[in-house]
Structure 1
Amino acid sequence: MGTGLNEREGELEAFTADEAAAGARLDQWLTGACAGTLSRNRIKHLIEQGRVRLNGETVAEPKRKLRAGDRVELALPEPEDPEPAPEAIPLSVLYEDADVIVIDKPAGLVVHPGPGNPSGTLVNALLAHCGDTLSGIGGVKRPGIVHRLDKETSGVMVVAKNDRAHQALSAQFADHGRTTGMRRAYLALVWGAPDRMTGTIETFLGRSSRDRMKQAVVGETQPDARYAVTHFKVLERYGDPTGASPVASLVECRLETGRTHQIRVHMAHVGHPLIGDQDYGKGFSTKANTLPSPLREAVSGFTRQALHAASLAFEHPASGELMTFQSPLPADMTELASGFRQAFGKT
C-alpha cells in the first residue's frame, strides 16, 4: 500500500504512493488511502467518472497499476444530502448554557443523519431543542457535533451551541487531554477478564481488510492506520466457582486517543470482546449457552455492545472552568452486571 492523505487542496484530496504501493491497483490502494471514508465501489465509480488524476492526468481505469512516487488526486463531488429537520425527540439534558449542551445519550439513538438513518437522530432532536443557536462548523448534517458515540453506546456527550465553542471543544478533543483537562471514561462489560487489573492497549487501527465496514488492528504502514491508546482498569471480576478464569468482568476504559470503535476493537484484540458486540465479539456469542439460567437468557437477549460513556470532563469554551459530568450505568447494563454477580460472585 502507500502513504495516507498528506494534503488537501480545496475540493481535491491529494496522496503520494510510497514504495509499498508499487504494482497495486489504483482503486484498491486509493480505498485504503482514504482512511475508510469511501467504499471501494464508490472509489471505482469516481475513477470511472473522471474524478481521479494520476500525475496530473485524468485516469478512468480502476485497475491502473501504481508506481512509487505517483501523485493521486481525488476530486470529491459536493454532498447532496438534505438538511436535517428539527424533530421533537426527548433529550436527557445534564447541563446547558449559551455555549454548550451536555446530554446523556440513550442506547439506540444515532448521533447524526447518514445512510439508513436520514432522521430520528440526536441532531434532529438538538435542532428542535436548541433552534437556530447550534454551531454550523460541523456541516449541515452535523451541527454542533464535536465527538460522537456509536448508535448502541450510551452515555455523556457535549455539543457546541456556537462557532467559538465548537472550535474550542474540537481543539480539546483533538488534543486528547495532553495539555487540557479533557478526560473520557467508559464502562464496559466484557467476556473473561484481563490478566492484569490495570494496563494499556497500544496499537494502530484502520479499515479491516476482511470487512470494510469494520475497524481492525493493522500495521503501521497501512495508509489509513491511526495510532490508538486505551488505558483499562478492571473494576469487578465475575469468577467461576470451580476456580477457572473469570467468566466476565466490568472494565473502565479511558481513552488517550479517540478512534472509531476503539474500545470495542482493543478489547476484542486482547481476547475480551464486549458482551453483546455483534461486530467484534460475534465469535463469543455462543458462550451465553454455557451460563446458568436466568443469566443465559439475559445475555442472549442483550443485543447491543455493553459500553457506556460514564464520564466526560472538559474545559468550558468560554470560562475555561473544568467541568465534569457523569452518567450512571444504564438499567440494561446494571441488570446484566447484577446477573453475573448473582451467578458467579465478584472479586
Structure 2
Amino acid sequence: MSDPFKQATDNRKVLTADESAEGRLDAWITAKLGEEFSRSRVKSLIKEGAVLLNGAAMTDPHRKVRAGESFEITLPPPEDPTPKGEDIPLDVLYEDDDLIVISKPAGLVVHPAAGNWTGTLVNALIHHCGESLSGIGGVRRPGIVHRLDKDTTGVMVVAKNDIAHRHLSQQFADHGRTTPLERAYRAIVWGRPRALTGTIDAPLGRSVGDRTKRAVKRDDNPDADEAITHYEVLERFHEAPDATALASLIDCHLETGRTHQIRVHMAHIGHPLLGDTVYGAGFKTKANLLPDEARKLVSRFPRQALHAYLLQFEHPRTGEVMHFEAPLPEDMEKLAEALRNG
C-alpha cells in the first residue's frame, strides 16, 4: 500500500484518500496527521483556506471525503514545545523553596496548549521561579498539580521541585479523603436551588457532541468519572414571596475535582453560573428581568462567575496544614452588589 503522505514542499503535504476513506474532512485529516495537530486546529486550518482540492480551497470542515481525492495542506511551522519565561505579574500569596501559592486572575490560561502557547501561568512561573521548575511534571506544565479554567479566578498551588510535585499530586488525586486537602469556591448562579444545602453526585465525562465540553453521564458509562459537589446557598438576590430568587451566591466544596465540575453540576440541577456561555447560554435572557443598571452589568459580564476562594493542603516537607483564602475579585463583587441593590 502506498504511503498516503507525499511531501510537496517544506510546509505542505498532499494527502490522498484511498477506497476506505470516509467521514468529515476535518476528522479524516486529523486521523491522518496523527498527534501532530488536534481536530480543532485542523478545523481552523480548513476554515482559513489551508486545504486545497484541485487548487480550490475547501473551507467546509463537514464536507465528506471521497476516495481518490488528493488534498494539499499548508501546515504552519512547528511550535517549540518548551515554554519560555515571560514577565507576567503574579499575585503571590505565599512562597518557599518547595512551592508557590498564587491568586490567579481571570483570563490567564494555566499551561501552554494549542492556541495558547504563550502568555500562560506556566510562562509567568518560569520567569518568576527560574530553573527550579524545569521538567517537574512535564515540559509543558512544569510544577502544575491542579488547574483552574482560563476565566475562573482564585487560589492555586504550584510545586517547585519533584518531591513537592509528587506529594501535592497525591493529595489532589486523593481528593482530601485521607489528607487535609480542601477546595472551596464561590459562584453566582441563576435562580435558587430548592434546598439551601445539598450534594450533587453525578458522574462526568466528555460531551458526545463537543469533546471540549463535559456532560453528566450514567454510572455504567465507561467514560464516566465520579464527581461530587457539596453546595450551600449564602445569599439570594431578588427573592420573591414564594422563596424563589432570580440569582444566588453559593459556596461549593469539591469532593472530587473534574474538569468544569461546578459549572456542569450547577447547570445539571437547573442553576447555571452567570456569564457561563458554554453551560448556561439558555439563561442569558433572564437578565432582562433585572432593573436597568443590574441588567447592563449582568449582560456584559465576560466570564463564568466562579472564584476558587479557599485552598488547604499539607505542606510536602513540613507536614504543616497550609490554609489560604482569596477574597472575591472586584468584578464578582460588583456583580453581587448590582444584584443586591438593583
2:284 aligned with 1:285: yes
- Please tell me the root mean square deviation across aligned C-alpha atoms, in Å: 2.2
- 1:190 partner SS: strand
Query: Residue 56 of structure 2 aligns with which residue?
Result: none
What's the CA shift string for 1:31-69, capped at 9, x where partnerless? xxxxxxxx96587336899xxxxxxxxxxxxxxxxxxxx
What's the CA shift string for 1:55-100, capped at 9, x where partnerless? xxxxxxxxxxxxxxxxxxxxxxxx9752011000000000000000
User: Per-residue deviation at 1:211?
Assistant: 1.9
Q: Quick check: which has more Rg, 1 or 2?
A: 2
Q: Which AA in structure 2 matches 1:44?
A: A
CA distance in 2: counterparts of 1:212 and 1:164, whole angstroms: 33
2:32 aligned with 1:45: yes
Query: Residue 218 of structure 2 aligns with which residue?
Result: 219
Q: Output aligned runs, 1:1-347, within 5 Å.
A: 44-45=31-32, 81-134=80-133, 136-241=135-240, 243=242, 245-343=244-342
CA distance in 2: counterparts of 1:155 and 1:315, whole angstroms: 19
The 3 A distance-change label for structure 1 pair 142 and 47 is: closer
- 2:205 partner SS: strand
When normalised by structure 2's length, the TM-score is 0.77
- 2:187 partner SS: strand
What's the CA shift string for 1:101-124, capped at 9, x where partnerless? 000000000000111111000000
CA distance in 1: counterparts of 2:87 and 2:247, whole angstroms: 39
User: Per-residue deviation at 1:222?
Assistant: 2.7
Contact 1:276-1:306 at 8 Å conserved across structures: yes
Larger RCO (CA under 8 A, 6+ residues apart)? 1
User: Per-residue deviation at 1:224?
Assistant: 1.9
What's the CA shift string for 1:221-262, capped at 9, x where partnerless? 333211100000111111335656200000000100010000
User: Per-residue deviation at 1:213?
Assistant: 1.7
Structure 1, unmatched stretches of 5+, are 1-26, 29-38, 50-78
What's the CA shift string for 1:118-144, capped at 9, x where partnerless? 100000000000000115232111000
CA distance in 2: counterparts of 1:155 and 1:231, whole angstroms: 18
Q: Which AA in structure 2 matches 1:213?
A: T
The worse-fitting range, judged by mean Cα deviation, of 79-88 and 292-301 is 79-88
Contact 1:207-1:215 at 8 Å conserved across structures: yes
- 2:292 partner SS: coil
Contact 2:231-2:252 at 8 Å conserved across structures: yes
Give aligned-pair identity as a percent.
Answer: 63
User: Per-residue deviation at 1:218?
Assistant: 1.1
CA distance in 2: counterparts of 1:294 and 1:239, whole angstroms: 14
CA distance in 1: counterparts of 2:239 and 2:157, whole angstroms: 39
Q: How many residues align?
A: 278
The 3 A distance-change label for structure 1 pair 267 and 241 is: closer
- 2:291 partner SS: coil
Q: Which AA in structure 2 matches 1:177?
A: G
Contact 2:136-2:160 at 8 Å conserved across structures: no
User: Per-residue deviation at 1:210?
Assistant: 2.2
